[in-house]
């Protein structure tokens, strides 16, 4: 469970948002909606730990990983958002390729005595 408690963000004396509290349970599916400039990206950065709030706290269990994919990617290649996101699972794809290779070897092998 991720708990957001009384978050506030202020820039140069101007309040972007204040007193924001909510809980995200493990099976929740959520959407964050609002007009441009309302602080949606700022909120996500704070929840992910990429930015600090002026006030308030975000709490999550130690084994929880919170990731944030920015809406404007800063990549050195011309990959799509899906391809960029898939990079986080590179090791899983490599393991699957190795399993597929080994399974293929088992199906075509003829030296049953080895």
SS (H, E, C) the chain: CEEEEEEEEEECCEEEEEEEEEEECCCCCCCCCCCCCCCHHHHHHHHHCCCCCCEEEEECCCCCCCCCCCCCCCCCCCCCHHHHHHHHHHHHHHHHHHHHHHHHHHHHCCCCCC
Question: What fold, for 2-100?
Answer: Rossmann fold (3.40.50)
pLDDT confidence of residue 60 = 92
- Tens digit of each residue's pLDDT (9 = 90 or more) over 56-108: 999 999 988 888 777 666 666 778 878 878 888 899 999 999 999 999 988 88
Domain spans of the chain? Answer: 2-100
Task: Give the pTM.
Answer: 0.60
């Amino acid at each position: 469970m991720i708990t957001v408690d009384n978050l506030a963000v202020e820039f140069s004396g101007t309040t972007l948002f204040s007193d924001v509290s909510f809980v995200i349970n493990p099976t929740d599916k959520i959407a964050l909606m609002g007009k441009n400039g309302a602080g949606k990206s700022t909120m996500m950065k704070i929840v992910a730990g990429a930015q600090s709030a002026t006030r308030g706290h975000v709490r999550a269990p130690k084994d929880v990983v919170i990731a944030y994919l920015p809406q404007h990617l800063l990549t050195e290649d011309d990959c799509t958002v899906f391809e960029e996101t898939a990079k986080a699972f590179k090791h899983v794809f490599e393991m699957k390729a190795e399993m597929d290779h080994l399974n293929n070897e088992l199906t075509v092998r003829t030296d049953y005595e080895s």
